[in-house]
Amino acid sequence: MHRYLDVSPEVAEALASGKAVVALESTIISHGMPYPQNVETAFRVEKVVRDAGAVPATIAIMGGRLKVGLDAEAVRSLGKKGRDAVKVSRRDIAWTIANRLDGATTVAATMILAAMAGVRVFATGGIGGVHRGAERTMDISADLEELAATDVAVVCAGAKSILDLSKTLEYLETRGVPVIGFRTREFPAFYTSRSGMTLEMRAEEPADIARFLRAKRDLGLSGGVVIANPIPPEFEMEASVIGSAIDRAVAEAEAQGIRGKETTPFLLARVKELTGGESLESNIALVLNNAKLAAMVAVELASLA
C-alpha cells in the first residue's frame, strides 16, 4: 500500500473482497455546511451508503496522513473546524502531508485519494466548475481537470449556478468527460432539477451506469464521469428565490475582491445566509439522495467484476 495512505480496516477488507465501496468527500463537511448539521449529515450519508449495501469511505488528510475511511472523531473535528480547516485540492496534497496538517479534501483531491486506494464510485453534493466571469478571472475549479484525468465516477446533483453551467459543460465536453443524467436529460442545477442545459446521455437504472463504467474501463479510457442526479422534487427550491440569492452572492464576492480557493466557500456561505434554512434542508436531502444512487451503482459494479 502507498506509504502515505491509511485505508481503514473496514474499507480495506471490502476492497480486498471485491465489495462495493463509495468514496465521500470532506470539504462538503468543513466548507459546505454549518456545524453541527455538517457532522450529522456526514454520519447520515455513511448510513445511507451502508443501508444500500456498500461500505462508505469518507476521505480527508489527518496529521499529514491520507485517510480513506475516516473515523467519527476525525469527522467531528473537521466539522467543528469548518472554514478554518485547510481546503485541500490537488495542488495542496503534498504540502499538507509534508507539514503534517489536517485537511478536508475537495472533489478533485477526494478523487485522487479514492483512485489511489482503488475506490471507483464517489458521492458528493455538487462539483466545482467554470465560474461566472471566468473569461476575465480564469477561475476554473481543479475538479474539472481531475474529472478529465482520474478514473472515478462522481455522483452529484449537477453544479450550483454560482457557476457558469454552460461553460462548465463545454469544458467537460472538451476534456472528454461523460456527463450522464440519471432519469433526466437536463443537467440539474443542485437546488433545482432545471438548468435549461440538455444532456445527451441518460440512464434509467444503476445497472445501466455500472455497465457503462465497465465498458469505459475495459476500453482503457481513463478519466472520470459525472453522474448527474437531480434533487428529489419535494426538496427543490423556487428558481427565483435561489437565483436572486446566488446573483447577490456573486456580486458581493466580486465587490469584495474574493479570489482563488476562497471564492467557492464564500459563495456557499453567502447563499446559505441569504436563503436561511431552506437551502440547507435541500442541500442535505440531495446529498443523501446522491449517496444512495452511488451505493446502488457501486453494488452493481461489484457484481460485474
Q: Which amino acid is present at 99? A: N
In the numeric block, the cell 426538496 is attached to: 235
Show the cell assigned to 294. 452511488
Cβ-contact 52, 69 below 8 angstroms: no
Residue 66 main-chain phi, psi, to 5 deg: -75, 125
25 an active-site residue?
A: yes
Which of ligand PSU, Mn ion, none does residue 25 bind to, with CB < 5 to 8 Å depending on kind? ligand PSU
- Per-residue mark of binding to ligand PSU, 148-187 (x: CB under 6 A): ------------x---------------------------
Query: By three-state DSSP, how is residue 112 classified?
Result: helix
Q: Report the residue closest to ligand PSU, judged by CB.
A: 32
User: Could you give the C-alpha distances from 85 to 44, 67, 99, 288, in angstroms and in order?
Assistant: 21, 15, 14, 23
Closest CB to ligand PSU among 207 and 258? 258
Cell of 216: 469505459
Contacts with Mn ion: how many residues (CB under 5 A)? 1
Q: Which of 58, 89, 193, 282 binds ligand PSU (CB under 6 A)?
A: 89
Site string for ligand PSU, 205-244 (x = CB under 6 A): ----------------------------------------
Q: Check residue 268 for interaction with ligand PSU (CB under 6 A).
A: yes
3-state SS class at 103: strand
With H, G, I as helix, E, B as strand and everything else as coil, classify residue 173: helix
The nearer residue to ligand PSU, 25 or 164, going by C-beta atoms, is 25
In the numeric block, which cell numbers belong to residue 19? 465489495
Q: Looking at 67, 87, 160, 272, which residue is catalytic?
A: 160
Give yes or no for a contact between 163 and 130, defined as CB atoms under 8 angstroms apart. yes
Residue span 115-154 as binding mask against Mn ion, x where in contact by CB under 5 A, dash where not: ------------------------x---------------
90-119: contacts with ligand PSU (CB under 6 A): 106-107
Q: Does 142 bind ligand PSU (CB under 6 A)?
A: yes
Answer yes or no whether residue 292 interacts with ligand PSU by CB under 6 A.
no
Q: Which region among 141-149, 213-221, 225-233, 295-303 touches ligand PSU (by CB under 6 A)?
A: 141-149
Please enumerate in sequence order all residues whose Cβ is within 8 A of that of 34, keeping only pairs 6 or more positions apart, or say none.
Answer: 82, 272, 280
What angle, rounded to 10 degrees, do the helices at 142-149 and 107-117 form? 30
Whether residue 41 contacts residue 25, with contact meaning beta carbons closer than 8 Å, is answered with: no
Question: Helices (DSSP H) in 119-238: which residue ranges?
Answer: 134-137, 142-149, 165-174, 206-218
292 labelled catalytic: no
Asked if residue 102 binds Mn ion (CB under 5 A), the reply is no
Interface residues for ligand PSU in 3-32 (CB under 6 A)?
25, 27-28, 31-32
Alpha-carbon gap, residue 50 to 45, rounded angstroms: 9
* Cβ neighbour number for residue 303 with a 10 Å cutoff: 11
Residue numbers of the site for Mn ion (CB under 5 A)?
A: 139
- Which residues are part of the catalytic machinery? 25, 160
Residue numbers of the site for ligand PSU (CB under 6 A)?
A: 25, 27-28, 31-32, 89, 106-107, 125-126, 128, 141-143, 160, 190, 261, 264, 268
